[in-house]
Amino acid sequence: MTDLLRPDATTASATRPAAPKPARPHFSSGPCAKPPGWEAGQLPHASLGRSHRSKLGKSRLAHAIELTRKILQVPDTHRIGIVPGSDTGAFEMAMWSLLGARPVTTLAWESFGEGWVTDAVKQLKLDPTVIRAPYGALPDLAQVDQDQDVVFTWNGTTSGVRVPDDAWIREDRQGLLLCDATSACFAQAVPIEKLDVVTFSWQKALGSEGAHGVIILGPRAVERLESYTPAWPLPKIFRLTAKGKLSEGIFKGETINTPSMLAVEDYIWSLEWALQLGGLSALIARADANAAALDALVAERPWLDHLVADPAVRSNTSVCLKFAGEAVAGLDDAALAALEKKMVAALEAEEAAYDLGSYRDAPAGLRIWCGATVETADIEALGPWLDWAFEQARAG
């Protein structure tokens, strides 16, 4: 493996680039980069140290919900709640509260989708229909029986594959669509009005602090909650109903458990930044510009390629790349993983790029966040530093 990682005489030298580094080298896919101009001292302090159940605390939580509705263009028919446990908590809440009334189909093409399969099979024991695709591909959505409840991710954060559009969603479906959209919201056109459940965490595309999730419920999901009681016990933090009725307070800022008001203020700051920027269309445009800049960078490098071959289903946020070409010919998975690890360490030590290794269950390579809080100039500045790190890693 050591010999395979060493460059031959034709390989470019690993001389430290003279080019500028990214001004903000934050490319993590979660928690993601803070919005440009963010400073902790800018966050409002009035709600800190106050009860989240005080008039002020509830008003700030309600304000966060209202801004979320405005920016994501959530219909008035849909309820928005702030819940514990990041996106994982929000989506687990949906699965445990809603599933079991009908047969279930689960879709998986990356790690988090596989996690929902595991929940459905091993925890809820639902014996779901499982439709899979390998990393870098999307399942055939035409196979999906929408008279069953359907569990899926909109954007595969660990594979870089996203659902391209909503044309496959039937208006006359009988089942519920439960969508984990955590790395799609605020960067992609997620058709919330056509989905029954949408969840995300604000530490993704807005770069806010972690630990909190958001759940959006459509009318059909509310109807299910009020007409169906799961066969399994529900922990308190999963309970969306009381005495057979939806707990409406959750969707007005009365959280199930104690939230971090500092994290809530951080989220509000990011939402207001997004609003000043121009809202959802402006956020999507920034993410698209970043993804295009990265695509150009990849096209110029024979040793790098997209994990997702089809541009139509390629994410504009969690862009996943693989090593390619003659430079890595013959390397096995362990050698490629070692190459990735060395590259990531070299870039971090140089403070040129942080946290751009692939997800632990994904194929070895790089994963570069291109969401709206990243500046296009920083994506463009990555090129020479990736080349340098690649040669550093191959030199051993």
Following DSSP, what letter does each residue of 71-92 receive, concatenated? HHT--TTSEEEEEESHHHHHHH
pLDDT at 55: 96
Computed over every residue of the chain, the mean pLDDT equals: 95
Parallel, antiparallel, or unpaired: how do β-strands 366-369 and 149-153 relate? unpaired
pLDDT at 9: 33
Question: Among residues 263, 279, 262, which one has the least CA distance to residue 208?
Answer: 263
% of the chain surpassing 90 pLDDT: 95
pLDDT at 173 over 60: yes
What CA–CA distance (Å, rounded) separates 195 from 181?
Answer: 11
pLDDT at 279 over 50: yes
pLDDT at 11 over 50: no
Q: Where are the beta strands (DSSP E) in 121-231?
A: 129-132, 149-153, 155-156, 161-162, 177-180, 197-201, 212-217
What CA–CA distance (Å, rounded) separates 48 from 388?
Answer: 45
pLDDT at 226 over 60: yes
Question: Among residues 62, 111, 8, which one has the least CA distance to residue 318?
Answer: 111
- Give per-residue pLDDT as tens, 29-87: 999 999 999 999 999 999 999 999 999 999 999 999 999 999 999 999 999 999 999 99
Question: Going from the N-terminus, what domains does the chain have, and what CATH number goes with each?
Answer: 2-35+279-395 (3.90.1150.10), 42-276 (3.40.640.10)
- Give per-residue pLDDT as tens, 378-390: 999 999 999 999 9
What CA–CA distance (Å, rounded) separates 228 from 231?
Answer: 9
Q: DSSP state, 161?
A: E
The answer, yes or no, to whether the previous bond of 31 is cis (omega within 30 of 0) is yes
pLDDT at 146 over 70: yes
pLDDT at 15: 86
Q: Could you write out the DSSP letters of every residue in 344-372?
A: HHHHHHTTS-BS-BPPTTSPSSEEEE-ST
- Give per-residue pLDDT as tens, 108-138: 999 999 999 999 999 999 999 999 999 999 9
- Give per-residue pLDDT as tens, 317-351: 999 999 999 999 999 999 999 999 999 999 999 99
What CA–CA distance (Å, rounded) separates 29 from 50?
Answer: 32
pLDDT at 7: 43
pLDDT at 8 over 80: no
% of the chain surpassing 70 pLDDT: 96
Q: Residue 335: which H helix or E strand, with range?
A: helix 333-349
- Give per-residue pLDDT as tens, 84-104: 999 999 999 999 999 999 999
pLDDT at 12 over 70: no
pLDDT at 396: 79
Q: For tokens 């801004």, what's the residue? A: 67
Residue of 389 and 7 predicted with greater confidence: 389
What CA–CA distance (Å, rounded) separates 336 from 1?
Answer: 9
Residue of 39 and 1 predicted with greater confidence: 39
